[in-house]
Amino acid sequence: MMHVAFFLLIVFTAGGSSSEKVCSYQEVVDYLNLTTNNNLYKLTRPVLNYKHPTVVQLDIILYAILAVIEKTQTFIPFVWATMKWNHERISWDPDQFCGINSISVPREMLWIPDLFIYEMVQKDDSPLNPYMYVLHDGTVTLEEDLRVVSTCRMDIYKFPFDTQKCNISIGSAIHCVDELRILPFSNASRATQFSRELIQSQGEWEFLHVSISSNNFTFGMKQWEQLIYTFTMKRRPLLHVINFLLPILFFLSLDIASFFIADHRGEKLGFKVTVLLAISVLLLILNDILPSMSNKTPLIATYCIVIFALMLLSLLETILVTYLMEKDSASYEKLRLRNNLEVKQEKVQVNNCNPEEKRDNCCSCICKVSDSEKQHEPLPMAEGVNNSIQYQESHVLLLILEELKELQHTLNLHLSCRHQVGKSGQWAARINKAFFIFYLITVSLFLSLIFIEWNN
C-alpha cells in the first residue's frame, strides 16, 4: 500500500511539472527560420502565387504642423504612418508556443513595400523604427514617424484669410496595381478625429480635417495606384492683421487727415512724402512673404498697391495746389512792386514841380476863381494877405490830395491783386475740396469691396 501511494505521488508530480511549459520568442523565430541570411522572406514580394496582389493598408495621423512656407510653397508636417500587409510565407499556431501571437523582428529581416511620397522634396533625416511586428497569421505592421518636407500648391489670393489644402500622395515605385494595392486603414472621419486628438503643434495654422482619396494613372503601359491624403488648414490671420493690414489703414487715415493741414505751409507736402515712404517699407515686407509667381494677384497686394496709388495721387494733388498757391504769391508780389513803383514815380514828379505848378496843376479845381465872379478889386495889402492865405490852403489841400491818392493806389492794389490772384486761389480751393470728396468716396468703396471679397 505504501508503494502504491508513493508511485501515484511521483506520477502526479511529474504530470504537473510537464504542464508548465516555458516558451520564448526565439522559439517562434527558430520555427519560422527567420535569420538575416534567409533571403526567402525579403528578396521578393511575399506571395505564394505571383498573381495575388499584396494589399497594403496605410494609416497616416497628423501629429504636428511644423511649417507652411508661402514663399517656397512648402508644407512641412510631422506624421505617424502605419503600414500593414500580409506575408503569406509566415504563420504559426499560437497554441504550440504558449499563446504567443506576435513577435517583433528587425526590419532588415522581412520584405517592406517600396512606398514613397510623391511630393517629398527633401529626404527625412530622422531615425527609422528598427523593428516591426509580425502576427501569427502573417500580418506585418510597420510604424514610422516622418518629418515630411513636401511641395504644396498654395492659393494665396485671400492671404491672410486663406485656407490651404496640401496633399501627401503615397504610391509604389516599381509595383503596379496588379502587384500591389494601397488601401486606407482608417476612413477620413476617423483619421481627422485621431489627428485632432493627437496634434501638438499648429502655430499659425488651424487644422480643419483630412480627406482620403485614391487615384489610378497609367504610365509605361501599366496602371499605378496612389493613395492621397489631403490636409485642410486655415490660417489664423490675427498676427498679419495687427502687423500689416492695420498699419496701412492707419497710414491711410493719416493721409486723409493731412487734407486739413494748410496748403501754404510746407509741412503738408513733407508729411505726405513721409507717409508714402512708410507704405513703401510695408510693401517690401510683403514682397518677402508672398511667392514671386502666382496665378492671381493676391487681394492684399491689390489692397496695398491701390492705397499706395491713392496716396501718390494725393501727393500729386498737393503739389498742384502748392504750385497754384505759389503762383498766387508771386503774382501778388509782382503787382505790389509794380504799384509801389508807380506811386514812387508820381511822388518824384510832384516833388520836382515848383509850388506854383503844384498849385496850378493839383489845386486848380479849388483855387481857380473866375474873373466874372470878382465883385471888386481888392486893395494891394488885402490882396497879399489873401494870396498868403490861399497859398497855405492850397498847400494843405495838396497834402490831403497826395494822401488820398496814396490810399487810392493802395486800394487799387488790393482790388487788382484780389481780382488777379483770387482766380488761382479759387481754383486751388476748388481742386482741394473736389479731390478730398473724391478721395473719401474712392477709399470707402475700395475698402468695402476688398473686405467683402476677403469674407467670401
- Average of per-residue pLDDT across 53-66: 94
User: 147: burial class by Cβ within 10 Å (0-12, 13-18, 19+)?
Assistant: middle
The whole model's pTM is what?
A: 0.72
Q: Does residue 263 carry a pLDDT above 80?
A: no
- Give pLDDT tens digits for 349-407: 555 555 555 445 444 444 444 444 444 444 444 455 455 666 566 767 777 777 776 67
Indicate whether 97 pLDDT > 60.
Answer: yes
- Asked if residues 312 and 273 have their Cβ atoms less than 8 Å apart, the reply is no
Is residue 160 reached through a cis peptide bond, with omega within 30 degrees of 0 on the bond before it?
Answer: yes
Mean pLDDT of the chain: 80
Residue 144 in this model has a pLDDT that exceeds 60: yes
- Between CA 286 and CA 247 the distance in angstroms is 13
Q: Report residue 203's pLDDT band, with 50, 70 and 90 as the boundaries.
A: confident
Measured in degrees and rounded to the nearest 5, phi and psi for residue 206 equal -110, 120
Amino acid 253: pLDDT: 92
Distance CA 455, CA 453 (A): 5
Percentage above 70 pLDDT, the chain: 74
Cα–Cα distance measured from residue 92 to residue 94, given in angstroms and rounded to the nearest whole number = 6
User: Would you say 172 and 115 are in contact if contact means Cβ atoms under 8 Å apart?
Assistant: yes
Query: What span, in angstroms and rounded, lies between the C-alpha atoms of 419 and 411?
Result: 12
Measured from the Cβ of residue 248, the count of other Cβ atoms closer than 10 Å reads: 20
Given a contact cutoff of 8 angstroms between Cβ atoms, the answer to whether 29 and 104 are in contact is no
pLDDT digits (tens, 9 = 90+) for 48-59: 998 899 999 999
Give the pLDDT confidence score for residue 363 in this predicted structure: 43
Q: Which of 60-74, 91-105, 334-348, 419-433 has the lowest mean pLDDT?
A: 334-348
Mean pLDDT, to the nearest integer, of 421-425? 56
Q: Are 223 and 176 in contact (CB under 8 A)?
A: yes
Residue 33 φ/ψ, nearest 5 degrees? 60, 45
| Residue length of the chain | 456
What is the reported pLDDT for 92?
Answer: 93
In angstroms, rounded to a whole number, what is the distance separating the alpha carbons of residues 409 and 64? 87
Sign of CA dihedral 307, 313, 318, 321: negative
Q: Which three cell numbers stand for residue 340?
A: 509801389
